[in-house]
Chain A
């Protein structure tokens, strides 16, 4: 524990000619194993119990509300003419967007050889899976008769005598999100196998040893296994990279393929993907800043990691801002009356408050990361990421609701108001998310131990070379 609480080193500055350390505080392989494994071996801190104690009742509420919804019908939501895609779809896109950071960190940053991803990828991937679980719930219950949602899968049915309609973006969505969820899950699990083996080998308890032994499939750390494992990891990263970009692209098709002003734009796929990465990193920071403080992981999730993530948020936030502006430019430049009016309504119509909350949170607030103080002070950083989360929810709200509320005929305009079920379900989905995340922290390795060790070994070699004038390799 002594080394864990060692004073934080500021590794956000680069020393020329020298590789900046990504693991600080005089660590060796053994201390890293201990650092991560003790989290699940020791009793959980009080804050864990508080979080879990809040999240679990919220999850129960979510479950009860789904039961209520299924027994009563979707009329319990505020979805009403003309806004038939209300909060459920907003929540779906919100959660799917959050679910983009994990696989992005494990796949794209892996391909770019960004070694700093090793400290954060596990937690981010877990966050991805849990966010996709939350996301998948909403369209699942939005289909009306939720017990018939399996009709979306192409299976030879004696009852229906028909097949899904593959020319619809909504079906693409089923495949994209389904593929993303399952591939992310195996990617996450595969990455965890060596670390679960660490858990197994440290276990004193017979049952614990047996359960982790089964979970890690008898991993022995053989070099032949490692070789295939690394190959598989690289291939999965290469597969997951286009996949992660495709998922939010397909989600954006749900909107962009329609004819509705405000939705029917070709900018949507890149804009959605940038927004997804933005919101995903926002949520990763929201989770990891407290986690690293609570579990004393400041030497592994160092200021440099946070700094890098802030820069990604800044970059993607600016892209999102560019997309918002481009939309307005196109609305004017297209000289399409409906498109133009839709955007005027968005910013100055009855939903102006939502639009400007979105704009402030997504475009203005990440600009604070230009200043180093915001990238160093974890509390300020955390506050900004909360704004990012709020803003990204509102982005989906603005896109979904404002476009539907005012379509071509003024006579059919309306104003969407959520019901208490809408609100409680959204809160309940956070219960689901945090329950899963708490359990993850409690039972699974929240840091990719073997990858950090590899990173540390690289770092040691680099230090060694630096000390010996680059002569011995």
Chain B
């Protein structure tokens, strides 16, 4: 490859042409015109930069290059359109965004890009091809002076193949144009073929690089009992047993094993710590020892149908936290709780917690089927709930309310609980809440908490609803209603309002109660909206259908966190 610079004087040198050197483009141009006018056509000029006017001075014809570009660009356009049409409308049609299979407007960008891509690459390669590049062996390179052609010298060249070529005449002509130097360039006798060694190396290299490809192709087209070579496992093989399969590892030959009591899996503190759960798991275990035993036996025992029923009657009770964990009751947490409550909860529960959020109002307004009114946070069933239970409800959902665990992290949940508790207190304060001897000015009344109260009284029926709700309490004494409704089978508290959480089994017994239980919520609406009659009459049917749908509806609700709008 280094031939270009080899300078060998052959025994009998054959003239390749004459070369004149100039130091200025003007002189070169003048010389070019002179040479052209003398009738030479096999001429060329070598310059460090393109010189305008030299085409005319040398008689260089325009290039066909633009045609290459045009046809390549046209090919690109056609290729892109055909490709996209065939792929998306013929061979693999599928509906996306409601667009037609052949969405021509959507095909424009790729068509444009491919047009440019084809045209640009063709232009460059056609330019090189028309120029005969790469060309590593060129007789002109044999002159060391020629090195300055890429620096500051201009060369005029008359080739020996010209029909008028005569060494002496050419020399005289060139010498007459005021060059720095005129030199004859001899035919380069170094072979212009690529050296054999190099050729072999290149060929071997290419062949070697194809070996992996050949192996891959061969593997693809041959049958083999051996398993495939997996570079990336993509979770294809995992060192685990599938569920519901037998194993010899454990005595009972089952893959699934209950965890050792008190086990906390890595990164799963949120399944074991009261802070994350809202209840104390240890106490819960103690609380439910007896019933859990029964349940376990009933599940183990294939014929234990009566036991099963018994187990269902005694769902596990949760030992909810009565007090806030450390670090929750702070002003900062209150602010977070307020922000999150208003962002996440208020849409349904209302800003003051009466279950009169905009979504609920709207649902009642349009008489949305399947709409269960959100529970008022000031209802007597909710107010006495321990903080852990409210936390648990936020984390896991309850009845028609979806889980907000994915939306609110544990800290935010506790913050919301704090805010809910504050809201409740604001609506149901006792005289003892007021510091004795304090005047109103001295009290550190948070403006936000204070605002909640007027808002609530605007929303009207704080007290009436509670009064109406009171009689229903006996009805809620029913046990066992929670289990199918909530994600966590353990999630229950028998004082829960039943309106949202009837089991299908319990339905026939209590249609009479249901309207009554809905009443507190429904009774709020008449005050604001005349249209509320309709929903309230529909209520029994509504809540029935709601409850029967609940178990399946629960799963997606967890995802979206907005089951309230589920119609």
A residues lining the B interface (CB < 8 Å): 28-30, 33, 81, 145, 147, 154, 158, 161-169, 171-172, 175-176, 178-179, 182-183, 186-187, 190, 194, 197-198, 200-202, 206, 209-210, 213-214, 217-232, 235-236, 239-240, 242-243, 246, 250, 253, 409-413, 449-451, 453-454, 457
Contacts of A223 in B (CB 8 A): 44-47, 50-51, 54-55, 58, 60
Contacts of A246 in B (CB 8 A): 109, 112-113, 116
Shortest distance in angstroms between B155's beta carbon and chain A's nearest beta carbon? 8
Is B83 an interface residue when CB atoms closer than 8 A count as contact?
A: yes
Residue from B4, B25, B60, B92 in contact with A213 in the complex, judged by beta carbons closer than 8 Å: B4
Is B197 an interface residue when CB atoms closer than 8 A count as contact?
A: no
Contacts of B133 in A (CB 8 A): 217-219, 225
Shortest distance in angstroms between B110's beta carbon and chain A's nearest beta carbon? 5
B residues lining the A interface (CB < 8 Å): 1-2, 4-5, 25, 44-51, 54-55, 58, 60, 63, 65-66, 69, 73, 83-84, 87-88, 91-92, 96-97, 99, 103, 106-107, 109-110, 112-114, 116-117, 119-121, 123-124, 126-128, 130-131, 133-138, 140-141, 147-152, 155, 220, 231-232, 234, 343-344, 347, 404, 406-407, 561-562
Nearest opposing residue in chain B for A197, CB measure: B150
Residue from B116, B127, B231 in contact with A228 in the complex, judged by beta carbons closer than 8 Å: B127
Cβ–Cβ contact B106 & A236, under 8 A: no
Cβ–Cβ contact B50 & A198, under 8 A: no
Cβ–Cβ contact A145 & B344, under 8 A: no
Cβ–Cβ contact B46 & A221, under 8 A: yes
Cβ–Cβ contact B116 & A166, under 8 A: no
Contacts of B134 in A (CB 8 A): 214, 217-218
Cβ–Cβ contact B116 & A163, under 8 A: no
If A223-B47, A224-B60, A411-B347 touch, whether A217 touches B135 (CB-CB below 8 Å) is yes
Shortest distance in angstroms between A187's beta carbon and chain B's nearest beta carbon? 7
Residue from B46, B116, B220 in contact with A243 in the complex, judged by beta carbons closer than 8 Å: B116
Cβ–Cβ contact B123 & A232, under 8 A: yes
Contacts of B220 in A (CB 8 A): 158
CA of A229 to CA of B97, assembled, Å: 46
Residue from A81, A186, A214, A449 in contact with B1 in the complex, judged by beta carbons closer than 8 Å: A214
Nearest opposing residue in chain A for B91, CB measure: A163
Known: A171-B110, A223-B54. 13 other contacts (CB 8 A): A162-B92, A167-B106, A186-B120, A221-B46, A222-B45, A222-B131, A225-B133, A226-B50, A228-B130, A240-B120, A411-B344, A411-B407, A454-B50
Contacts of B124 in A (CB 8 A): 186-187, 190, 232, 236
Among A154, A214, A231, A411, residue most surrounded by chain B Cβ atoms (within 10 Å): A411
CA of A166 to CA of B4, assembled, Å: 49
Q: List 6 A-B contacts (CB under 8 A).
A: A161-B92, A214-B134, A227-B63, A231-B63, A240-B120, A411-B404
Cβ–Cβ contact B123 & A167, under 8 A: no
Contacts of B1 in A (CB 8 A): 210, 213-214
Cβ–Cβ contact B120 & A239, under 8 A: yes
Closest 6 CB pairs of A and B: A29-B152, A217-B134, A163-B87, A232-B127, A172-B109, A198-B150
Cβ–Cβ contact A242 & B112, under 8 A: yes
Shortest distance in angstroms between A194's beta carbon and chain B's nearest beta carbon? 7
Cβ–Cβ contact A221 & B47, under 8 A: yes
CA of A179 to CA of B115, assembled, Å: 10
If A186-B121, A240-B120 touch, whether A175 touches B347 (CB-CB below 8 Å) is no
If A221-B46, A454-B49 touch, whether A163 touches B92 (CB-CB below 8 Å) is yes
Nearest opposing residue in chain B for A30, CB measure: B152
Residue from A166, A167, A209, A453 in contact with B49 in the complex, judged by beta carbons closer than 8 Å: A453
Q: Is the interface of B mostly helix, strand, loop or mixed?
A: helix
Contacts of A28 in B (CB 8 A): 152
If A81-B406, A236-B124 touch, whether A33 touches B66 (CB-CB below 8 Å) is no
Nearest opposing residue in chain B for A180, CB measure: B113
Residue from A33, A209, A457 in contact with B2 in the complex, judged by beta carbons closer than 8 Å: A209
If A227-B63, A228-B63 touch, whether A411 touches B123 (CB-CB below 8 Å) is no
If A220-B149, A412-B561 touch, whether A213 touches B44 (CB-CB below 8 Å) is no
Cβ–Cβ contact B116 & A242, under 8 A: yes
Shortest distance in angstroms between B122's beta carbon and chain A's nearest beta carbon? 10
Cβ–Cβ contact B106 & A222, under 8 A: no
Contacts of A171 in B (CB 8 A): 110
Contacts of A200 in B (CB 8 A): 150
Contacts of A187 in B (CB 8 A): 120, 124
Residue from B60, B343, B347 in contact with A227 in the complex, judged by beta carbons closer than 8 Å: B60
Cβ–Cβ contact B407 & A29, under 8 A: no
Contacts of A30 in B (CB 8 A): 151-152
Shortest distance in angstroms between A176's beta carbon and chain B's nearest beta carbon? 5
Cβ–Cβ contact A213 & B136, under 8 A: yes
Cβ–Cβ contact B123 & A206, under 8 A: no
Nearest opposing residue in chain A for B2, CB measure: A210
If A229-B127, A246-B112, A454-B50 touch, whether A167 touches B97 (CB-CB below 8 Å) is yes
If A176-B109, A217-B133, A228-B63 touch, whether A201 touches B151 (CB-CB below 8 Å) is yes
CA of A206 to CA of B170, assembled, Å: 34
Contacts of A161 in B (CB 8 A): 92
Cβ–Cβ contact B87 & A164, under 8 A: yes
Contacts of A206 in B (CB 8 A): 2
CA of A186 to CA of B109, assembled, Å: 21
If A213-B136, A223-B54 touch, whether A202 touches B65 (CB-CB below 8 Å) is no
Residue from A202, A227, A240, A412 in contact with B407 in the complex, judged by beta carbons closer than 8 Å: A412
CA of A235 to CA of B46, assembled, Å: 23
Shortest distance in angstroms between A122's beta carbon and chain B's nearest beta carbon? 14
If A145-B232, A210-B2, A218-B138 touch, whether A183 touches B116 (CB-CB below 8 Å) is yes
If A81-B406, A200-B150 touch, whether A231 touches B127 (CB-CB below 8 Å) is yes
